[in-house]
């Protein structure tokens, strides 16, 4: 690879985009510290690392646990990718608030804890990159997906504030710390459909939409079958760009046609 090898710490790399990103970055010569949520996810990454002689180190880290979060302080890294996320679904009108709180605990609060710990290391070293996994639905929400959408909207806000705050810090203290967002569209990782299905655990019997649940479900299946992309190559390239681009942009979005559609919706105030 042309770019200098970097040390990358990435959370949520036990499956989906996080796993593909960790493996791809390691294949490009970067040193990758790949944290996973479940012990069972470690072996696959270690097997790939061993078979391909990659500098990829997999280990368990539950960002919900304070002691686990502090593990990040034991590592030296140039780039931190805040990739961990969960989702849920349901109508704003009647979803149990505890379900929304659960999503925010992981996607917002615990990710912010991790970001602050990563920044603690970077401020001491006076350089680094914070990469935050958001989503296209963090800019334009979808009905019945509000817990996930709202958590990503929150991350967009925190990332934007952090961008301007780091500009001030960099100017005043001589640091060189940047932040960027990755905004994936709909990819066929199984994550979207799993989140959408969660509301049907209760929506048939305990919702204003109970009588229409089958109709909504059939419509959603059609929408996701149309939207979801596979393979994930285009979005994994954005992870790579976030790590390797000499001049870091603030937003990296893919696939392009979904991103363009979102821009049009925003222009027309939708």
| pLDDT of 49 over the 50 cut | yes
Cross-strand partners of 39? none
Q: What b-and-e string marks burial along 26-61, b requiring 16 or more CB atoms within 10 Å of the CB?
A: bbbebbbbbbbbeeebbeebbebbeeeebbbbbeeb
Distance CA 243, CA 261 (A): 26
CB 242 within 8 A of CB 182: yes
CB 58 within 8 A of CB 9: no
pLDDT tens-digit readout, 82-92: 999 999 999 99
Cross-strand partners of 9? 33, 80
Which one-letter DSSP state was computed for residue 90?
A: B
Distance CA 225, CA 31 (A): 36
Sorted by where each starts, the structural domains of the chain and their CATH numbers stand as 7-267 (3.40.50.720)
| pLDDT of 243 over the 50 cut | yes
Which one-letter DSSP state was computed for residue 94?
A: T
pTM listed for this prediction: 0.93
Alpha-carbon separation of residue 157 from 134, 146, 203 (angstroms):
10, 16, 30
Among residues 249, 35, 6, the alpha carbon closest in space to that of 131 is found at 249
Contacts of 113 (CB under 8 A, 6+ apart): 63, 66, 69
pLDDT tens-digit readout, 106-154: 999 999 999 999 999 999 999 999 999 999 999 989 999 999 999 999 9
| pLDDT of 1 over the 70 cut | no
């Amino acid at each position: 690879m042309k770019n200098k090898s970097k040390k990358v710490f990435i959370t949520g790399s036990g499956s989906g985009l996080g796993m593909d990103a960790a493996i791809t970055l390691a294949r490009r010569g970067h040193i990758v510290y790949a944290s996973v949520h479940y012990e069972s996810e470690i072996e696959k990454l270690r097997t790939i690392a061993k078979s391909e002689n990659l500098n990829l180190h997999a280990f368990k880290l539950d960002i919900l646990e304070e002691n686990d979060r502090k593990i990040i302080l034991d590592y030296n890294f140039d780039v931190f990718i805040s990739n961990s996320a969960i989702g849920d679904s349901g109508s704003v009108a009647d979803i149990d608030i505890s379900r929304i709180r659960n999503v925010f605990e992981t996607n917002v609060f615990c990710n912010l804890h991790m970001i602050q710990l990563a920044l603690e290391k970077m401020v001491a070293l006076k350089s680094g990159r914070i990469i935050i996994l958001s989503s296209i639905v963090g800019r334009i929400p979808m009905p019945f997906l509000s817990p996930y959408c709202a958590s990503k909207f929150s991350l967009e806000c925190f990332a934007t504030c952090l961008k301007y705050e780091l500009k001030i810090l960099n100017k005043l203290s001589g640091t060189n710390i940047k932040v960027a967002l990755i905004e994936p569209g709909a990819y066929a990782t199984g994550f979207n459909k799993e989140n959408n299905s969660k509301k049907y655990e209760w929506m048939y019997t305990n919702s204003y939409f109970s009588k229409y649940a089958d109709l909504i479900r059939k419509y959603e299946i059609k929408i996701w079958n149309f939207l979801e992309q596979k393979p994930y190559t285009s979005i994994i390239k954005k992870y790579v760009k976030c790590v390797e681009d000499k001049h870091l942009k603030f937003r990296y979005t893919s696939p392009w046609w979904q991103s363009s559609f979102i821009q049009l919706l925003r222009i027309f105030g939708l």
